[in-house]
């Protein structure tokens, strides 16, 4: 069996390398750079820990510390670009079953997060019916 040209994400050092490479791509990107700029030093440890868990497919909670993303109309383009940068970073630097599993897991997380944001934005934007004293909504006459 031939030796892969690129390493798999089998060590903490390789996963940290991925995180640095991907973060640099996000920060330099014309579309995503304003939302995914360099990580503040105070948040670097928490973000590195989140990425370590996400890349290994282990249980994690929360999300990396990043500012809010824009309103719904831009979300599909941002998700597509984020996934493209993820794929490019993986393809150009890593190979193997762990890299493939990490890529699939991260794409799934991004899709779920985008869906959640879009749903939340729609619910926040929906007009609310006025409440009566009992807390139920009034029916229009």
Q: Which of 2, 1, 12, 10 is nearest to 97 (CA)?
A: 10
Q: Determine, yes or no, domain membership for 139.
A: no
- Give how many domains the chain has, as a whole number: 1
Task: Give the CA count within 13 Å in the CB-facing half-sphere of 118.
Answer: 14
pLDDT value for 139: 40
pLDDT in tens, 22-61: 989 999 999 888 887 777 776 678 888 888 888 998 766 6
Q: Determine, yes or no, domain membership for 78.
A: yes
pLDDT in tens, 12-24: 999 999 999 998 9
95: domain range?
A: 12-65+74-121
The pLDDT of residue 138 is above 50: no
Q: Determine, yes or no, domain membership for 1.
A: no
Q: Determine, yes or no, domain membership for 29.
A: yes
Q: Which residues, listed in sequence order, are joined to residue 137 by a DSSP beta bridge?
A: 131
Between CA 99 and CA 107 the distance in angstroms is: 12
Predicted TM-score (pTM) of the model is 0.73
Q: Determine, yes or no, domain membership for 100.
A: yes
User: For the residues 128-133, what does the mean pLDDT come to?
Assistant: 52
pLDDT value for 44: 79
Q: Determine, yes or no, domain membership for 44.
A: yes
pLDDT value for 61: 62
- Split at pLDDT 50, 70, 90, the class of 68 is low
Contacts of 54-58 with CB under 8 Å at 24 or more apart are: 54/102, 54/105, 54/106, 54/109, 55/9, 55/15, 55/18, 55/19, 55/102, 55/105, 55/106, 56/9, 56/15, 56/98, 56/102, 57/101, 57/102, 57/105
pLDDT value for 136: 44
pLDDT in tens, 72-127: 556 788 888 999 999 999 999 999 999 999 999 998 888 887 777 777 666 666 55
């Amino acid at each position: 069996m031939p030796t892969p040209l690129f390493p798999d994400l089998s060590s903490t050092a390789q996963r940290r390398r991925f995180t640095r490479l991907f973060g640099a791509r996000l920060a330099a990107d014309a579309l995503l750079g304003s939302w995914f700029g360099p990580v503040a030093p105070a948040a670097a440890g928490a973000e590195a820990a989140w990425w370590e868990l996400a890349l290994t497919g282990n249980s994690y909670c929360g999300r990396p510390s990043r500012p809010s993303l824009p309103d719904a109309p831009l979300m599909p383009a941002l998700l597509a670009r984020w996934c493209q940068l993820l794929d490019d970073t993986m393809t150009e630097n890593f190979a193997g079953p762990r890299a493939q599993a990490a890529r699939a897991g991260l794409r799934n997380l991004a899709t779920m997060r985008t869906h959640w944001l879009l749903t939340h934005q729609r619910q926040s934007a929906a007009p609310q019916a006025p409440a009566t004293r009992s807390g139920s909504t009034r029916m229009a006459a």
